[in-house]
Structure 1
Amino acid sequence: MRLNPVMLATDAPPIPEAKRWLDGVTFPPERPLLNVSQAAPVDPPPETLRRAIAEAALNDAESHLYGSVLGMDDLRAEVAANWSAHYGGHVAPGQVAITAGCNQAFVAVMATLAGHGDEVILPTPWYFNHKMWLDMTGVRTVALPCDTAMIPHAGDAEALITDRTRAIVLVTPNNPTGAEYPPETLAAFRDLARARGIALVVDETYRDFHSRPGAPHDLIADPDWDDTVISLYSFSKTYRLTGHRVGAAIASSKLLREMEKFQDTAIICANMLGQKAALWGMRNLSQWVAGERAEILDRRAAVEDHIGPLAGWDILGLGAYFAFVSHPFDAPSDTVARRLVQEAGVLALPATMFAPEGDPICAKGLRIAFANIDRSQIAELARRLAAMTPERA
């Protein structure tokens, strides 16, 4: 049979590819594998939330039926109230759609904004699933290089806009770099997008682990935010609901009415148990989330304490779940990443998986997802990196 050529031309998912590097490798008991390749929580939700999920599964028949295409009314209202309070603006329930995770929020929004032959601007390094979706739908990705602090600039993006440009996509805190974009950076991109009549899509999957107290930006405080801004969110990281697949898109009601067509065709509705879990979490777990944030910020500090002083291992970006580091070896990052498995028992993703070929920063970059390793493991990671030498790599 013949396969879709754009699918064949799309890169393979990086995480499964990296996990294949483990095949046939033995890790001695005194040096077990340190897996820093993926940020998804490995622990289940807190027991109180699991009990709420079990209660809904047993006693709420609605949990097993189709729901509204754009999400449960109660959950949409809760998200709208949370966004309004958190950002000091106004979001109505009709400006919220519940999706099957944040990845699906992205593809639904992109399917609504852009088609074959259109263009979307992504800062590099980019989140690989964003690039993969654009590739498999025939939308051209236009790379926007970041500065050495891993921050993109609206002035650089302006020169890349053409009559085929449909959106600029920003991820903050960033995956893969961890960089937290300053409010003025986001405002400049909003002003540029508005002036050029395109969308600014802001993926805020890691919003709840931002190091800045309060709102990380003032985009939603703008009374006309929905003429330009689209915010994406994930409940998966905040409440450990990765397997339940529940996320959100916050946008104009006009855009969401069009996006409803994609939702109805692709998934009909987001997982109902996941939606009920997200609603229960938003209403009951604010203190628990604050504790999770404090733990992530402590692990971020541990990365600074232990990896920051290592000779040659420069931290280019750090925040939320990720550290983006430049290695000291005279070898491309994909080669170094494979040898880290063999020689240090460390599985990390090379930055070449997040950028176009030849990107100068990513050629020597590694993404370290530190959210699932504690302070002692971060210290051990630093010891293993220090033990690697340019001669061995």
Structure 2
Amino acid sequence: MRLNPRTVHQIDSPFGAAYALLDHRRKNGELLDLAQAAPQYPTAPAVVEHIASIARDTHGGDYVEIAGLPHLREAFAAELSQAYRGQVREEHVVVTAGCNQAFCLVVSALADPGDEVMLALPYYPNHDMWLRLNGIRPVYLEHGPDLTPSPEAARSLITERTRAIVLVTPGNPSGATVDPARIAAIAEVARRHGLALILDETYRSFRDTGEPAHSLFSDPEWAETLVSLHSFSKDFAIPGYRVGAMAASPRLNREVMKLLDCVAVCAPRIGQEAAWAGLSMAQEWRRERAREAADKRRRFVSMMEERPGGFELLSAGAFFGWVRHPFAGRSTEDVVRDLAITYDTLVIPGTAFQPDDRGMLRISFGNVGHAAFDDFAKRLVAAAA
């Protein structure tokens, strides 16, 4: 049996590799898991009650339309229109089995092997892996001091093979949020060159403002350029239900649905019903969780201002801190391994999010309570001693 060499020679999932380190722990203390970004609180009660009623329904396990449940698409289009003060209709929305699937389907609809897609650094690793697995060349868009890219940098990388520019905002792993004016400027670059701007907005509910994340949806022609990707996992604490969505042109959506039909027929019905219930009955619950996350983020930033052990926080947002370790000349994978095995502290190396080693760590503080931050600081100091 011959395997696809593009798959064989890929790196393993960085998240799987990180958790594999736990098999070698010396277990000197309690594990402090700062690697995963999934919510640790239970799903909103209103969502649980709704999905329980659906599960008992005679047709609760039926297939749904490939594009998704009409009432979910309608509700989500309305929510986007309100949140962004824009114009999004049901026909713009396709529901997917998580935001990862939305990205994969969109890229497959836009690009062929040999084409290029721009990824803003630091990138989300699944985006980079999917491009390379499909023979699409990732082109890395460097960031400025604020950890977000400039329109000039994007323009300089465009070639005749470029098909899309990808931004994740707030960023995973950096937490850095691209401001609306910068998003608009990069969208204009994409529009002028006939490219798609793929905007992964998984963590939009966890920004430090209630203002719209961008103004693109207010342009009647937004769908000619913008592809906006979303997840309900963090908003409603349903990561295992695998439900996300994309907002794009009906023309692109038709191509995405062909792929979705081959891959999964439709996103899981129970997840779609959970997302609809969240949008319809748990918006205040959602806002309260976002406020809690903001409080936790401020506590983390305050703790890191002391630079424990010489570890330096460069940015923080959503559930993430982007931290430079103090060990110049030492590989980041080695630092992460030592933190896990010796100090019972699990983080993700920055090499999972960049093409080279820049001495960075991703810290996901969404998993832990406020009391864990002082413990984390002590472990960093011990690791640096």
User: TM-score by structure 1 length?
Assistant: 0.95
Unaligned stretches of 5+ in structure 1?
none
Paired AA for residue 384 in structure 1:
R
Q: Name 2:322's counterpart in structure 1.
A: 324
Q: Does residue 42 of structure 1 match 2:40?
A: yes
Classify the secondary structure of the residue corresponding to 1:388: helix
**Comparing 227-236 and 62-71, the one that deviates more:** 62-71
Question: For 1:228-258, what per-residue CA distance to the aligned partner results, in whole angstroms no more than 9, with x for missing partners?
Answer: 0010000011111111110001001111011
Alignment partners' CA distance in 2, 1:114 and 1:62: 37
Question: For 1:317-358, what per-residue CA distance to the aligned partner results, in whole angstroms no more than 9, with x for missing partners?
Answer: 21001000001112121111111113321100110111113x
Classify the secondary structure of the residue corresponding to 1:265: helix
Q: Does residue 368 of structure 1 match 2:367?
A: no
Write the mapping of 1:207-246 to structure 2, written as runs, cut at 5 A. Answer: 207-246=204-243
Q: Percentage identity across aligned positions?
A: 39
Paired AA for residue 356 in structure 1:
P
Alignment partners' CA distance in 1, 2:44 and 2:246: 25
Alignment partners' CA distance in 1, 2:355 and 2:60: 43
Q: Does residue 153 of structure 1 match 2:150?
A: yes
Q: Does residue 350 of structure 1 match 2:349?
A: yes
Alignment partners' CA distance in 1, 2:18 and 2:362: 12
User: Alignment length, in residue pairs?
Assistant: 383
Alignment partners' CA distance in 1, 2:78 and 2:219: 16
Q: Name 1:179's counterpart in structure 2.
A: 176
Alignment partners' CA distance in 2, 1:8 and 1:164: 26
Alignment partners' CA distance in 2, 1:201 and 1:22: 35
Contact 1:208 1:238 in 2 (8 A): yes
Q: Name 2:285's counterpart in structure 1.
A: 288
**TM-align CA RMSD:** 1.2
Q: What is the deviation of 1:292?
A: 0.3
Q: What is the deviation of 1:46?
A: 2.5
Q: What is the deviation of 1:159?
A: 1.0
Alignment partners' CA distance in 1, 2:26 and 2:56: 43
Q: What is the deviation of 1:310?
A: 1.4
Q: What is the deviation of 1:148?
A: 2.9
Q: Does residue 271 of structure 1 match 2:268?
A: yes
Classify the secondary structure of the residue corresponding to 2:266: coil
Contact 1:148 1:316 in 2 (8 A): no
Alignment partners' CA distance in 1, 2:160 and 2:60: 45
Contact 1:302 1:379 in 2 (8 A): no
Q: Which has the higher contact order (CA 8 A, sep 6+)?
A: 2
Q: What is the deviation of 1:279?
A: 0.3
Paired AA for residue 291 in structure 2:
A
**Comparing 335-344 and 261-270, the one that deviates more:** 335-344
Alignment partners' CA distance in 1, 2:86 and 2:358: 41
Alignment partners' CA distance in 2, 1:182 and 1:172: 9
Alignment partners' CA distance in 2, 1:198 and 1:252: 13
Classify the secondary structure of the residue corresponding to 2:227: strand
Q: Does residue 62 of structure 1 match 2:62?
A: no
Alignment partners' CA distance in 2, 1:297 and 1:228: 32
Q: Name 1:387's counterpart in structure 2.
A: 382
Alignment partners' CA distance in 1, 2:25 and 2:302: 30
Question: For 1:1-56, what per-residue CA distance to the aligned partner results, in whole angstroms no more than 9, with x for missing partners?
Answer: 1000111122211111111111132324xx31101111012343123321211111
Paired AA for residue 152 in structure 2:
G
Write the mapping of 1:133-212 to structure 2, written as runs, cut at 5 A. Answer: 133-212=130-209
Alignment partners' CA distance in 2, 1:269 and 1:188: 35
Q: Name 1:25's counterpart in structure 2.
A: 25
Unaligned stretches of 5+ in structure 2?
none
